[in-house]
Chains A and B, each alone.
Chain A
C-alpha cells in the first residue's frame, strides 16, 4: 500500500527507526541525577580499600594487620588466609585460568591485591591501608614477553607448575599459556616459497588501557536474615556476573541480584570480574553490612582490564601487481600474570583470524602464542571485539607496506585486493563468512570527498621542499556481534541476548533487555525499534536494563553486540507481539488475518480504508476481548541466537603534517565513512563515531602502559596516561553508505567500535606515509612527538 501523507505523519510521530530522536537518558544526566555506583549509599554502609603490592614479583613472607586493626574505625582486614575457608581466595578468569582474589603467598604484578581494609569511613579505610605491614621477598621480574620462555626465566605461576594446559592446548614452558593456530600452514608456506614478492614486518599493538572516566566499583549488600546478596556494580554484563557469583559463593542465583544503573563509560574495561568486587562481597557476607569499594584512577589504570600487548610478525606474499596471495601472521601475546584475557569464543585469541580484512586473500595462516609476564592481567577488548583491533591493525599496516614495496598507490592496491560486492556472502581463508559488503564504492566516495589526487600532488610538492605530509588510508572490515552460541560462550553460557516486551492495556509498553548501556543510548534507540515494529510512540515505551531481577538473561553490552544481537531480540519480540495483535485485530474486525495489512500503528482491512484497529485499541482488547482460546495479555520474550556475526566496514582517510624539527603531528583532516547496515538513529551513530575516532587517536598518538625491567608501571595517573583533551582532538568528518546485513532482522550491523578499529591504522598509516619517501616502512605506536622526533633524528631529518 502506498504511504499517504496521513500515514507518514503518523509514522513521524512514532519517532521510530531512522529518526534522530533526542536521547531519553539526557534529562537525568544534564541535571546531575544519573545514578552511578559511587552514588549508591545504603544504611550502615562501610568502605573497603585495597592493600596492593609495590613489587611486580615477590613472595609474601608475612602480613601484619595489628596496627590497622588498632585504628579506630577499622572493622576488619581481609587477606587470602581469611578467604581460604570460604574457598574464595582464587576465582576463575574469562581465559580458563584462575586469578588470586587476594595474593596467595606470592604476587605476580605491581599493585596486585594483597588485602582489603574495611572501615566505617572512606578516609579511615585509606588510613588503614597504610598501616597494614606486608613483608615481601622480591623475585626477578619478567616484563618482556620475548624473554618469558627463556630456559632460565623465573617461573611466574608456581601454582600451575606441572599443568600441561591452561584451557587451550599444550603448554611449552612454565610461563607459556597456549598456542593457537588457524588456517593452513603448509599451503601458506608453499605460496610464500614461490611468491614473486614477500614482505615481513614486526608490528606491535602496545599495551593500552580503556580508561573510562568512571573507575570500577561496587556496593555489595548481603542480607543475613534471608540470605539475599545484592550487588550494585559497574558491569557491562550483569547476568553473567550473577552466574559467576552464584558459582563462586554457593548462594543460589535466585538470591543474587546484580544492579547496574548508570555506567560512566566502559569501553571493555567493565567486562571482567575484578578482585575488588569479590572481596567487597565476601566482606559484606562476613559482616552483614553493605560494603562499598571504589577504585582510584591509579588502581584502575594499573590493575584492571588493559588491552592489546600483541607483538606481531606479519608477512604477505603477492604478485608484482600487488595481488595478495597469502598472509602469515605470528603473534606473541603478553597476557600478564594471570590468563584473564576475554576471548568469549571457542578460540583463545578471540576473533583475531578476521585479519584477512576486506581483501580476497586465498591462503592464510595465523598463530598466536600467549605467555605470562609480571604485568597486570586483563586483556579486554578496548572499544572493539575480541582481538579485532590487533588483527585489523596488522592487515591495514601490511597492505600499505606492500604498496610501498611495489610502488603502487595505497588506494589502488586496496582496490586490487578488495572482495567484490558480488562475492558476498564471502568465505575467508580463515573460516569466516562475511555477510555483506561493498568496499570499492565506499573508498571511492571518500577519495572523492577529500580530493585524494590533489592531496597526493600536494604531498609531492611538499616533499620537494623537505616538508612532511602524510595521507593515511584504512579500508577495514570488522567482526562484531558475539555471537552465535555454536562459536561463542563465556564460562559455557552462550552469547545470545534477550528482550521482553509488555504492552499495557492503554497502549504504552515496557521493555527489558539483557544488554547494558554505558552511554550508548539504549533507552532511546531500543524504543525507536519497538515504535516502528509496534506502532507505539517511542515516548510511551519504557526501556530498562541492568537489574538481573527484572531483565531477561543476556550477555550484556560489549563487542558491539547490542545492535547485532540485542536489537535483533527486540525486533523479534516486537514481531511476536504484532503477530498476536493481528489475530486480535482480525477478531475485532471479524475478518480473517489474511485480510489485514499493517499500516504504521494499525491493522486495516485491505481495500477498506476506514476498517481499522489501532494498536491502542488492540492493546485494550488484549486485556478485555480476545478471540476464544487465546490467552489474555500482550507480551513476548525473545532470546536471539544470531546465525552469524555481522561485518561492518568503513573507508577512512587521514591527512597529517609533521613538524620536521619537533616531531609534532598535526591532524589536518580526518574523513570517516562507515557502513553499519541499517541505521537506527543518525545522531547517536555520529556521536559514537566521534567518540571511537577520538579513542583511536588516543591509542595511535599517545597511549601506552609501559614498564621498567623490574615491573614498575611507568606512569599510571592521568598526568602520564594520554587521554586527549578538546585541544588535541581533531575535527571529525563523517559519512556513510548502507549495506544491510542479510541475516539481521533489521539489517543492522553495529557501529560503535568501527571508528576505533579502523581509526588506529588510519592514523598510523598517515604518520608512516609521511616518512615513507625516506624509506620508512613501519614505526610502532604511540606516535608521540618525542618518539617521532627520535625517528626523524635517526633519519637525519631533525637536526
Chain B
C-alpha cells in the first residue's frame, strides 16, 4: 500500500513519518515513533488507554488515522515531564495511589491534563464526568479523583499548568 508523509509536532518536537492511509495514530505513535506510553485496550475508542492531547483536545488515538495528524500538536504522557520535573498530575497520581497496574494511567493522565485546562477547579462530579471516557479496572476511580483534585490545587496555587511540549 502506498505511503503518505505526515509531519506533526510530538511532545514539542517536529516528527516526520511515512504511513499507510489506514494506519491508526496509536500504532504510529507506538511502533514508528516508539512512544509506548499510550496503550491499546480496545481499538474501538471505549477504554481510553490511548488518549492523547491533540490540538488542545483529548483524543483517543485509536480513533484517528495518522494522516489526520498532519500539522497537529500532539502530546503524549512522555511529554508531561517538564525540565526534568514531574507534572503535578503525575506527582499527585503517585501520592494519592491513583494507579495500580498502570495500563490506563497514561491515558488517564492525558485526559486529566486536558480536563484541568478546561476546568481548573472541578468538583468531584465534574471529574467523574470528565474522565468517564477512560476505563480503569484496578482503582475504582476514587483515588484517581483524589489525585486530580490534589493536582488541581497544586496547579492553581503554583500556576504550573503546561506540559513542556504544550
Residues of A in contact with B (beta carbons under 8 Å apart): 22-23, 25-34, 36, 38-39, 41, 122-123, 211-215, 262-265, 267, 294, 296-297, 518-521, 683-684, 686-688, 690-695, 717-719, 723, 725-727, 729, 731-732
The 25 listed contacts between A and B (C-beta, < 8 Å) are A30-B77, A31-B86, A32-B35, A32-B78, A32-B106, A34-B102, A41-B31, A212-B137, A213-B135, A213-B137, A265-B103, A265-B137, A267-B137, A297-B44, A683-B97, A688-B100, A690-B141, A691-B100, A694-B137, A718-B47, A719-B46, A725-B133, A725-B141, A726-B131, A726-B144
User: Chain A residues with Cβ under 8 A from B104's Cβ?
Assistant: 213, 264
Q: Is residue B139 within 8 Å, beta carbon to beta carbon, of the partner chain?
A: yes
Specify which of B46, B86, B93, B132 is in contact with A726 (CB 8 Å cutoff): B132
Distance A294 CA – B145 CA, assembled complex (angstroms) = 31
Question: Is B25 at the interface (CB under 8 A from chain A)?
Answer: no
Cα A25 to Cα B102 with chains together (Å): 9
Is B43 in contact with chain A by the CB < 8 A criterion? yes
Judged by a CB distance under 8 angstroms, whether B41 is at the interface is yes
B67 located at the interface, meaning its Cβ lies under 8 Å from any Cβ of chain A in the complex? no
Given A25-B102, A265-B103, A297-B43, A684:B97 Cβ within 8 A: yes
Residues of B within 8 Å of A, CB-based: how many?
58
Smallest Cβ-Cβ distance to B124: which chain A residue: A731
Task: Check: B116 CB closer than 8 A to any chain A CB.
Answer: no
Residues of chain B within 8 A of A727, CB atoms compared:
128-129, 132
**Known: A718-B42, A725-B135. Is A33-B31 also a contact (CB below 8 A)?**
no
| B102 in contact with A29 (CB, 8 Å) | yes
Q: Which residues from chain B sit less than 8 Å from chain A, CB to CB? A: 20, 22-23, 27, 30-31, 34-44, 46-47, 49, 76-78, 80-81, 86, 90, 93-95, 97, 99-106, 109, 127-129, 131-145
Q: State in angstroms the CA–CA spacing of A579 and B42 once bound together.
A: 51
Choice from B94, B136, B142 contacting A26 with Cβ under 8 Å? B94
B143–A123 touching, CB < 8 Å: no
B78, B94, B140 — most chain A CB neighbours (10 Å) = B140
Q: How many angstroms between the C-alpha atoms of A690 and B138 in the bound complex?
A: 8
Residues of the B chain whose Cβ atoms lie less than 8 Å from the Cβ of A36: 36, 39, 103
CA distance A296 to B94 in the complex (A): 30
Partner of A691, one of B78, B102, B129, B138: B138
Contact yes or no, A731 B100, CB < 8 A: no
Q: Which of A519, A520, A687, A726 has the most CB of B within 10 A?
A: A726
Which of B80, B86, B100, B131 has most A Cβ within 10 Å?
Answer: B100
A717 and B41 CA atoms in complex are apart in Å by 11
Given contacts A22-B94, A684-B97, 20 further A-B contacts (CB under 8 A): A26-B102, A30-B99, A32-B76, A36-B39, A38-B39, A122-B27, A212-B101, A213-B39, A214-B103, A264-B41, A264-B103, A265-B103, A519-B100, A718-B47, A725-B132, A726-B128, A726-B129, A726-B131, A726-B141, A731-B142
Say how far B47's CB is from chain A's closest CB, in angstroms.
6
Whole-angstrom distance between the alpha carbons of A212 and B49 in the complex? 12
* Contact present for A214 and B39 (CB under 8 Å): yes
Give chain B residues whose Cβ lies under 8 Å from the Cβ of A688.
100
**Shortest beta-carbon distance from A671 to chain B in Å:** 14
Give the contacting residue for B77; candidates A32, A41, A123; CB below 8 A.
Answer: A32
Closest to B136 in A: A213
Q: Which residue of B lies closest to A731 (CB)?
A: B142
Min CB gap A545→B, angstroms: 14
Residue among B39, B77, B100 making CB contact with A520, cutoff 8 Å: B100
Chain A residue numbers with a CB within 8 Å of B80 are 31
On whether the beta carbons of A297 and B109 are closer than 8 Å, the reply is: no
Cβ contact within 8 Å between A123 and B23: yes
Residues in B with CB closer than 8 Å to A520 are 100
Bound complex: CA A438 to CA B164 (Å): 54
Beyond A23-B94, A214-B103, is A694–B140 a contact (Cβ under 8 Å)?
Answer: yes
Q: Considering the chains assembled together, what is the distance between the CA atoms of A214 and B106 in angstroms? A: 13
Is B20 a contact of A265 with CB atoms below 8 Å? Answer: no
Among B43, B46, B101, B144, point to the contact of A519 (Cβ < 8 A): B101
CA of A688 to CA of B41 in the docked complex: distance in angstroms?
21
- Nearest Cβ in chain B — how far from A785, in angstroms? 17
- A215-B138 contact in complex given A26-B94, A29-B105, A690-B143, C-beta closer than 8 Å: no
CB of A209 to closest CB in B, whole Å: 11
Q: Tell me whether A213 and B76 are in contact (CB under 8 A).
A: no
A213 touches B49 (CB 8 A): yes
Evaluate contact between A691 and B140: CB separation under 8 angstroms: yes
Interface contact B36-A39, CB-CB below 8 Å: yes
Inter-chain CA distance A719–B76, complex, in Å, is 25
Residues from chain A with Cβ under 8 Å of B78 in the complex:
31-32
Question: For A27, what are the chain B residues with a Cβ–Cβ distance below 8 Å?
Answer: 94
- Nearest 3 pairs between A and B by C-beta? A32-B37, A519-B101, A264-B103
CB <8 Å contact, B101 and A265: yes
What is the CA–CA distance of A212 and B137 in the complex, to the nearest angstrom? 6
CB distance from B76 to the nearest CB of A (A): 7
Beta-carbon contact of A264 and B142 below 8 Å: no
Q: A683-B97, A687-B100 are in contact. Are A265 and B131 (CB under 8 A)?
A: no
B141 neighbours in A (Cβ, 8 Å): 690, 694, 725-726, 729
B42, closest chain A residue (CB): A297
Residue of B nearest to A127 (CB): B1
Q: Shortest Cβ distance from B37 into chain A, in angstroms? A: 2
Chain A residues with Cβ below 8 Å from B43 are 296-297
In whole angstroms, how far apart are the Cα atoms of A693 and B142 in the complex?
11
B86's nearest neighbour on chain A, judged by CB, is: A30
**A25–B93 Cα gap in the complex (Å)?**
12
Q: Which of A25, A262, A267, A729 has the most CB of B within 10 A?
A: A729
Contacts of B42 in A (CB 8 A): 297, 717-718
Known: A213-B49, A214-B41. A29 touches B99 (CB 8 A): yes
Min distance, Cβ A685 to any Cβ of chain B, angstroms: 10
A380 to chain B, nearest CB (A): 15
B127 touches A726 (CB 8 A): yes
* Pair B102/A519 contact, Cβ less than 8 Å: yes
A212 to B76, CA, bound (A): 22
Q: How many angstroms between the C-alpha atoms of A300 and B90 in the bound complex? A: 30
Docked complex Cα distance between A123 and B27 (Å): 10
Query: How many angstroms from the CA of A726 to the CA of B43 in the assembled complex?
Result: 20
B40 to nearest A CB, angstroms? 7
- What chain A residues lie within 8 Å of B94 (beta carbons)? 22-23, 26-27, 30
Q: How far is the CA of A506 from the CA of B19 in the complex (A)?
A: 52
Do the beta carbons of A729 and B102 come within 8 Å of each other? no
Which B residue's beta carbon lies closest to that of A32? B37
A724 to chain B, nearest CB (A): 8
Q: A26-B94, A32-B36, A690-B139 are in contact. Are A717 and B101 (CB under 8 A)?
A: no
Cβ of A44 to closest chain B Cβ, rounded Å: 15
Once A26-B93, A213-B103, A519-B100 are accepted as A-B contacts, the answer to whether A32 and B140 lie under 8 Å apart by CB is no
Assuming A297-B41, A718-B47, is B105 touching A30 (CB within 8 A)? yes
B40 pairs with A31, CB closer than 8 A: no
Residue contact B138 to A123, C-beta cutoff 8 Å:
no
Q: Tell me, in angstroms, the Cα distance from A264 to B104 when the chains sit together.
A: 8
Flag if A33 contacts B37 (CB, 8 Å). Answer: yes
Contacts of A725 in B (CB 8 A): 128, 131-135, 141
**Does the CB pair B138–A265 fall under 8 Å?**
yes
The residue in chain B whose Cβ has the minimal distance to the Cβ of A20 is B97
Q: Which residue of B lies closest to A695 (CB)?
A: B137
Q: Among A23, A31, A723, A731, which residue has its beta carbon within 8 angstroms of that of B81?
A: A31
Chain A residues in 8 Å Cβ range of B128 = 725-727, 729
Please give, as numbers and ranges, the residues of chain A lying within 8 Å of B34 by CB-CB distance. 41
Closest B residue, CB atoms, query A27: B94
Decide: B140 and A729 in contact? CB cutoff 8 A: yes
Q: Are A264 and B102 in contact (CB under 8 A)?
A: yes
Contacts of A691 in B (CB 8 A): 100, 137-140
- Tell me how far the C-beta of B111 lies from the nearest C-beta in chain A, rounded to whole angstroms: 10
Nearest to A122 among chain B residues (CB) is: B27
Whether A30 touches B142, Cβ cut-off 8 Å, given contacts A23-B94, A214-B103, is no
Task: Please state if A30 and B144 are interface contacts (CB–CB under 8 Å).
Answer: no
| Residues in chain A near residue B30, CB distance under 8 A | 38-39
Counting chain B CB atoms within 10 Å of each CB, the highest count among A32, A214, A690 belongs to A32
